[in-house]
Amino acid sequence: MKLFNILVFIFISINLNQANADEPSSWLKKEIDKILVSYQNSNLPKENRFLMIEQTINNNFAGAGIAKFVAGEAWKGASKDAKKQYIKYFKRHLALNIASMMQGYSNQEYELSESKIDNKNKVILIDMEIFSDTGSVVVTWRVKESKDRYFVIDLIVADISLVVTKRSEFNSMLKNVNYNLSDFNEILLNQNNESYQKIIN
């Protein structure tokens, strides 16, 4: 499975019967349930389904921090306005990717482990094993607690980081505009608009 496909399976397949989940896992389950309720409602317009996904991503991913890391060297010389606009477009980019992959969702099963503390990196780790017809894969959520709530900072699949993968992907595009974040924002905006039309139509 491709990394983003796996991300989608994780993000929309939280086990509703896990009664003994710890606090971080319970938080994760609660947020995923919001997506499940909207996504499985066939009477809900596609625009509304996407807005639910986007809202959940914005509320629960450390979007600004991830966006900054993914931008790499382009971040350093960018203006304040360019950075602000880029963060906005990047958050939508993530939501659009997930929404696009959700179109292939078919109730995959999984098992969610209890969270563990990585004291060295000061992060919470939540392992999930996702099952498919061809086998299973283990995915690790990397979560941080800040201001009395949790934020997803990365996903690890087969030792491959989602955030690092996005940074490599974006670097190829940024290179074409000499790492000018303002110019890149125009490209990202156009991509987002095209992706959004495909999702709602």
Which CATH number is correct for 3-200, 3.40.50.10860, 3.30.70.1560, 3.40.50.880, 3.10.450.710? 3.10.450.710
Other Cβ atoms less than 10 A from the Cβ of 147: the count is 5
Residue 145 to residue 157: CA distance in whole angstroms: 21
DSSP 123: E
DSSP 61: B
Which residues does 133 contact at the CB level (< 8 Å), separation at least 6?
none
Q: What tokens were used for 97?
A: 């990717």
Half-sphere exposure of 28 (CA within 13 A, CB side): 30
pLDDT at 106: 63
* Domain locations in the chain as residue ranges: 3-200
The answer to whether the beta carbons of residues 112 and 128 sit under 8 Å apart is: yes
Nearest to 2 by CA among 125, 104, 87: 104
Which H or E element spans position 143?
A: strand 135-146
Which H or E element spans position 150?
A: strand 149-157
Instruction: Specify the long-range contacts of residues 126-131, CB closer than 8 Å, at least 24 apart.
Output: 126/24, 126/25, 126/28, 128/10, 130/6, 130/9, 130/10, 130/13
Burial class (CB in 10 A: 0-12, 13-18, 19+), 57: buried
pTM over 0.85: no
pLDDT by position in tens, the chain (length 201): 566 566 666 565 544 344 334 688 888 777 767 776 777 777 888 898 889 889 988 999 999 999 999 999 999 989 999 999 999 999 999 999 877 776 665 666 777 778 888 988 889 998 877 787 888 888 888 999 988 889 999 989 889 998 999 999 999 999 999 999 999 999 999 999 999 999 888
Which H or E element spans position 30?
A: helix 23-39
Phi first, then psi, for residue 179 (nearest 5°) are: 60, 30
